Chain A
Amino acid sequence: MADTAESPAEPQSRHVTYCGVCSLPPEYCEFGGTVKKCQEWLQRNHDDMYERLWSADALAAATSSLSVDARKRAEKDAHKKALKAEAAEAKHAQTISASKVYIKRIERNKRKYVTSVTGLEAFGLENKKVAKEFGKKFATGSSVSKVPSGGEEIVVQGDVSEEIEEFLLEKYDVIPEDNYELVEHKVKKGASAT
């Protein structure tokens, strides 16, 4: 029994590096549409692999096996794909610059507050996970609840609006600083009272 327990300690499996941009193994980056970025990434992070994959003779060897016609078609296809990827990226960038994260402070009971965070989905964050992290970070209750107008919000107990902004800025740098908006939200008396 002891033998079998020990043998996995020495790695039997290979460790494969995946591209940080398109998540494929680097040798397949050329089919991903974000070739330029992948190349840059590879050169920065795994120089030796970059040399092997993208050096001139490697490329020549790779394309020589195809007929001229097929090569042309492949090129066209790759071009189309790249354009598509670019368009998708531009769109993504636009949604990022257009959408905002609202951090609302809601008065619950005179000096007691809850903080609600909305708009994180637009940046590709998952409400449920972020809520859990808030809870851990601020040691308070933190939950995801549905908003009557559709969509979701994270409700964190206590007034932590500024801390949340700081925390988000530090942890998720996909969101530019200008896209945060702190809002004071007063609930009329009676509406929030139970």
Chain B
Amino acid sequence: MFKKDISPGSKSKVKSSVQRAIRTQITTTYPLLAPYIDEIIPKKEQLDAMKIPDRVTLYLIGPTPLFFQHMTDAILPHLKLVHRFPTCFPSIRIDRGAIRFVLSGATLMAPGITSTGGRLPSGDKDEEGLYGESQKGSVGEGEREGGGWYGGRELEEGEPVAVCAEGKEEACAVGVLSMGTKEVKEKGKGPVVEEGHYLGDGLWKLSTE
């Protein structure tokens, strides 16, 4: 979606009523984010909207990008926000070999997830709140707090996900599933996340000051 570099557009202030609507939209889409919503979007803070090409709106507070939305599609978190609250988003994991393709903007294909390095929500309650390598504790700061129901539930088509990578702590992309996770497991091929926001793309590099 953001393969090309984006030049920052003009910011406009968001009406407080719209801001409230966005808040509720975020909390319903990402229930795990609800406890932190006041930290992300403080009630008194003025939310800004920036129009960027392809009818995408980026919401930010001051210089911090928070969410972006294509027309009226699902509201997706900016990767910087995912990095700040890693456990609050449903996530899948890709294997090492797939990282470089994702980081150059390719569509995420099923084999990258179904292989040994990848991970899908298993429907297993034990894997709740799994993000990246965090649960194994082999890399990084070990287990993180605030586990939820994400790892423990099959994700449906059209749901937003954060894409983590094997051996990495941080998420490398966000996007919308174009195939439910159950189907991915059964089929094992085809595109899974099309057109997302990945590290180093135009949206990532967009200067928001």
Interface residues in chain A, defined as those with a beta carbon under 8 Å from any beta carbon in chain B: 4, 7-8, 12-16, 22-25, 27-28, 31-32, 61-62, 65-66, 70, 74, 77-78
Contacts and interface: CB of A to CB of B under 8 A. Distances in A.
B172 interface: yes
B153 interface: no
23 contacts: A8-B42, A12-B35, A13-B36, A13-B84, A14-B84, A14-B85, A22-B200, A23-B204, A24-B199, A24-B204, A25-B83, A25-B168, A25-B199, A27-B168, A27-B169, A28-B103, A28-B168, A28-B170, A28-B200, A31-B103, A65-B95, A65-B167, A74-B100
Contacts of A23: 200, 204-205
Contacts of A15: 84
Interface of B: 35-36, 38-40, 42, 80, 83-86, 95-97, 99-100, 103, 116-117, 166-170, 172, 199-200, 204-205
B200 A32 contact: yes
Nearest to B82: A16
Given A13-B39, A14-B84, A77 B168 contact: no
Contacts of A74: 97, 100
Given A22-B200, A23-B204, A27-B169, A12 B36 contact: yes
A84 B95 CA distance: 25
A7 to B, nearest CB: 7
A6 B96 CA distance: 41
Nearest to A1: B43
A16 B168 contact: no
Nearest to B116: A65
Contact of B170 (A7, A16, A61, A66): A16
A65 B167 CA distance: 10
Given A24-B200, A28-B172, A74-B100, A62 B86 contact: no
B209 to A, nearest CB: 8
Contact of A7 (B38, B80, B204): B38
A78 B83 CA distance: 25
